[in-house]
Amino acid sequence: MISTWKLQRELARLRTQVAAIPALISQPIVQRRYDKRRADIVKIKQGELPCGENVVIYLIFQPNGVSESVLETCRYLNSSGFSPIVISNCELSSEDEFAIATNAHLVVQRPNYGYDFGGYRDGVWLLNARGIAPKALVFLNDSVWFPAIRGVGVLDQMLNHPSPYVGVQSFGDISNTGNGLGFFASYCFCIKNSVWRSETFQNFWSEYRNISNKEVTLRRGERKFSRLILREFGGISLFDVDRFQEMLHSLTEEELCEALRDMVVTDPMLEAAQSRLMGAVTERSTIKEIRDLIILSSEAKNYIAAAPILSLKMLLLPFIKKNNERHYVLARRNILRAFDEKRLQNVEPVVIKEIRASV
């Protein structure tokens, strides 16, 4: 029998898809009006930082006031050699605008039209309008805490990797050239100048159709953009599932047993298997079962949610999702428990503080 929370999730997804129908009809008209008045609608404030050769379009949506972690992210981007162009999908208070401007090249305020890809689109438009052609351009949004842990130079990895398209996380097979091609998560990815200058990249953004519907935005934005760039340029994912599974095979028996306790599962069959293995005697066959179960749960759900402690502690993935789906909420509770038990001490204090307040 399907769980109540799963049923509610699927019903919510269905409502979102149905709600998109009238928006799909009116969208071309709305976008033409928006683009015609964009220079007046989009409010731009000059920040205190000059624009360097490496740029980040940092999309935020903080309707209740800008959090300290967002300001920390701006400082981190600056200290990592990137010029932040912060795009807010809601109006900022004068205090928040000033606070961001001290650690940004530009502070942009726009309506929440088109969600993150609507903001990304305006960021590309703004760079072109100002004649800025970055050597490297990172797209980042505040659906994650970043950096969530200390000492991981993921921006350096992106910058120094020879690939013109570098993603943090991939879903599916990004080497597949057919219809089964995977895609990159849109919360953080990087393109190099060769991609920026290409007609493929520029045409995507000039032709991209904004819509304030999350399901359609994921399809038109995250998946379509990623697959388009992957097909033309190829790409590399820094924290793909293969790397996660390789890390699993490097763990000791003790570490695997700890990972089993920390695993987040909501499927009744996986929960039953977790309970059984937690009560089992540690034997070679049991250890293999534990590893297989963690792999199975990470395939059933994004491993960030299924194995949050492993992701931070062993994989050193410097991102924590803010998603309010049940799986991610449970993941953040496990992160807090591991932190309080002094088993996860590399998480940034401001991130722990905000997670604690949120759960």
In this structure, whether the domain defined by 27-237 belongs to CATH 3.90.550 is answered with yes
pLDDT tens digits for 198-244? Answer: 999 999 999 999 888 888 888 999 999 999 999 999 999 999 999 99
**What is the Cα–Cα distance from 138 to 161, expressed in whole angstroms?**
13
**What is the Cα–Cα distance from 325 to 341, expressed in whole angstroms?**
25
Task: Report whether 184 contacts 168 (CB < 8 A).
Answer: yes
DSSP summary character for residue 84: E
- Identity at 294, one-letter amino acid code: I
pLDDT tens digits for 30-55? Answer: 888 999 999 999 999 999 999 999 99
- Give the global pTM: 0.90
Residue 5 has pLDDT above 50, yes or no: no
Q: Strands 236-237 and 165-167: what pairing?
A: parallel
DSSP summary character for residue 104: -
List, by residue range, all CATH 3.90.550 domains of the chain.
27-237
